[in-house]
Structure 1
Amino acid sequence: MEKFERMEKLLREYGYPEKAIPRLMKEISTMNYDRVEKLILPYDDMTANRT
């Protein structure tokens, strides 16, 4: 699987909104997959304590 497809799949698996994925892909496109995997959190974890 291509690097960008793996990153996009990871964002979807982590629950990021579909509208946000293209913007996020632009921001992370220069990073390698392992770094992205370590840096991002599942979307639900990021928003869990927000009111």
Structure 2
Amino acid sequence: MDENKKMEKLLRDYGYPEEAIPRLLREISSMNYDRVRKLILPYNDMTANRS
């Protein structure tokens, strides 16, 4: 599986909204998968304390 597909799967597994995934992929496309995996959090964790 190539890195873009792995990053797309990671974003989906982490619960990011489908409409945000293409934009996020463009923004992280210059990074490698391991770096992205270490930098991002599951979407629900990021939004848990927001009102």
Please give the alpha-carbon distance, in whole angstroms, between the structure 1 residues aligned to 2:37 and 2:3.
12
TM-score, with normalisation over the residues of structure 1?
0.99
Please give the alpha-carbon distance, in whole angstroms, between the structure 1 residues aligned to 2:30 and 2:21.
15
Q: Structure 1: which 4+ aligned runs deviate by more than 6 Å?
A: none
List gaps (5 residues or longer) in structure 2.
none
Query: 1:42 corresponds to which residue?
Result: 42
Aligned CA-pair RMSD = 0.2
Higher helix share: 2
| Deviation of 1:14 (Å) | 0.1
**What pairs up with 1:7-26 in 2 under 5 angstroms?**
7-26=7-26
Count of residue correspondences: 51
List gaps (5 residues or longer) in structure 1.
none
| Deviation of 1:47 (Å) | 0.2
TM-score, with normalisation over the residues of structure 2?
0.99
